[in-house]
Each structure stands twice: as C-alpha cells, then as structure tokens.
C-alpha cells in the first residue's frame, strides 16, 4: 500500500533547528577554499569587503588562513546554529556565529564571525558558503 503523502515519515530526518548543533559538522567541507578564494581574498570583487573586515576588525589576512580554518572547523562542533533558512533549490542555509580572537596587534580583540552553511540534503555534509566579521 502506498504511503499517504499527508502523513510525515518518522524515518525522514527533520531539517536542522536553531539551537541545535550543525548537522554533520565534523564532516563540513569547503572551509579553506571559501576563505582562500572569497572571504580572505582582497582581489575578489564580492569577497574584498569581507577580507577588509577580517583585516581591520581582527587583524586576520590570508596569511592566517590556517588559524581561521581551524577556529571555524572546531567552533561549529560546539556552537549551536542561530538561524535556519530555506534556500531553494539548493537546500537549507544554517548560520553559526562564532566568537573569534584577533591576530597580531588585534590579538586582544574578540569579534563575531558569521559562518553560513549550505545543507543540500540529509546525505550531504554542510558546505561553507560565507564567512565574515559581524561587528
């Protein structure tokens, strides 16, 4: 007998919820490439303002990519999702805001870094689609 489309299947995973950890966060991918080619790239037209923000607010530049990549990859394992949005046809976007310590002269400063993750389906881990300082 076919399933009734009006009844939810209990085996179907529900979308992520604000207040929960990023689903499959340990498997998240795309962090380095997004930072390298966008968020920390002052030559990328769309990413340049983000790169300037990281530099001015936290003293973080492309030379600090290992630090930032590690802090994001670790942070999403402990900090809950703050916002969930539908993003048709690509799936769901989840926002995770992380507190980040600055580098160099800005090492005494802590600021929020907003990370946005795309979840294309329950069988796909989250992919970083945006990261920027959020004063």
Render pLDDT for 41-55 as a digit per residue (tens, 0 to 9).
999 999 999 999 999
Q: Is the peptide bond before 89 cis (omega within 30 degrees of 0)?
A: yes
Sequence-ordered alpha helix ranges (H) in the chain: 31-34, 48-53, 65-75
Residue 14 domain flag:
no
Residue 10 domain flag:
no
How many domains are contained in the chain? Answer: 1
pTM of the complete model:
0.89
Tell me what the mean pLDDT of segment 90-115 comes to.
97
CB 87 within 8 A of CB 27: no
Confidence of residue 101 (pLDDT cuts 50, 70, 90): very high
Residue of 12 and 117 predicted with greater confidence: 117
Per the structure, the complete domain to which residue 71 belongs is given by 25-134
Residue 76 domain flag:
yes
User: Quick check: 5 pLDDT over 80?
Assistant: no
- Across 7-16, 46-55, 60-69, least confident range: 7-16
């Amino acid at each position: 007998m076919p399933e009734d489309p009006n009844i939810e299947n209990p085996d179907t995973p529900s979308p992520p919820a604000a207040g929960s950890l990023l689903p499959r966060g340990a498997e998240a991918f795309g962090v380095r490439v997004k930072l390298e080619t966008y968020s920390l790239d002052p030559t990328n037209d769309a990413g340049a303002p983000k790169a300037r923000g990281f530099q001015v607010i936290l003293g973080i530049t492309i030379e600090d990519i290992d630090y930032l990549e590690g802090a994001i990859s670790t942070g999403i394992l402990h900090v809950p999702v703050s916002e969930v949005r539908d993003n048709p046809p690509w799936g769901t976007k989840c926002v995770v805001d992380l507190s980040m310590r600055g580098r160099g002269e800005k090492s005494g400063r802590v600021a929020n870094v907003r990370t946005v993750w795309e979840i294309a389906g329950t069988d796909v881990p989250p992919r970083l689609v945006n990261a920027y300082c959020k004063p």
